[in-house]
Chains A and B, each alone.
Chain A
Amino acid sequence: EDKVVQSPLSLVVHEGDTVTLNCSYEVTNFRSLLWYKQEKKAPTFLFMLTSSGIEKKSGRLSSILDKKELFSILNITATQTGDSAVYLCAVPIQMDSNYQLIWGAGTKLIIKP
């Protein structure tokens, strides 16, 4: 069965700390892994990863994929209270003519001032 597992489920840190969020997956026909940030609204896209070992970076956020060990990490450095959100990873898979998006349960990140 295809699955995406995120850890930890929740994390509380202080402003300025660095956090690492994990996403592991077991899927057939892997093509890419997506990271999203969800605050009060629908998720907003952060990164799409398709190749192992190539870091994607956007400001204080970065992500990398390991296709051999089947996981991805999302790093946030110098955290700010505005980084508080649920971080979701998802893996799109193609099954015959059907396309599915398998989501992890998310990591709830709380940044304390």
Chain B
Amino acid sequence: ETGVTQTPRHLVMGMTNKKSLKCEQHLGHNAMYWYKQSAKKPLELMFVYNFKEQTENNSVPSRFSPECPNSSHLFLHLHTLQPEDSALYLCASSQGGFTDTQYFGPGTRLTVL
């Protein structure tokens, strides 16, 4: 498999549930990112990881918890979400710095009931 993959593609969860989004990149990149895209809004950067170290947390609520066990895998753990957290969550990777071309996964469409 090549590129950036994300699972699941769709997720519906209640506000009391705990779930995790998974991202895997097969590009040999060193940096990975989580973005949120709400309806009719541009991408919002959530987290940045470089060589497994979190370098940016863009003021994201603590109900979103990222995990990067290695440079190929990135998780986003979700708990006690709110309906306004419903959005498309996109994972991306790049070779090195933030302004290197970022390759995106297909996204997870999350609906919080």
Interface set of A (CB-CB < 8 Å, partner B):
2, 34, 41-43, 45, 48, 88, 92, 97-106
Contacts and interface: CB of A to CB of B under 8 A. Distances in A.
* Interface-central residue, B4, B44, B56, B102, by most chain A CB under 10 Å: B102
Interface string B53-73: 000101000000000000000
Given A43-B45, A48-B42, A97-B106, A104 B99 contact: yes
Given A97-B106, A98-B3, A98-B104, A103 B99 contact: yes
Contact of A100 (B42, B48, B56, B104): B104
B82 interface: no
B102 to A, nearest CB: 4
Contacts of B103: 98-100
Contacts of A102: 101
A45 B42 contact: yes
Interface band, chain B: 10 to 19
A2 B3 CA distance: 18
B45 A100 contact: no
B42 to A, nearest CB: 5
Interface of B: 3-4, 42-45, 48, 56, 58, 90, 92, 98-104, 106
A2 B104 CA distance: 16
Contacts of A92: 43
B100 A103 contact: yes
B99 A45 contact: no
Nearest to B107: A99
A100 B29 CA distance: 14
A2 B103 CA distance: 13
9 contacts: A2-B101, A34-B43, A43-B98, A45-B43, A98-B3, A100-B103, A101-B43, A103-B99, A104-B99
A103 B58 contact: no
Contacts of A106: 99
A100 B99 contact: no
Contacts of A98: 3-4, 103-104
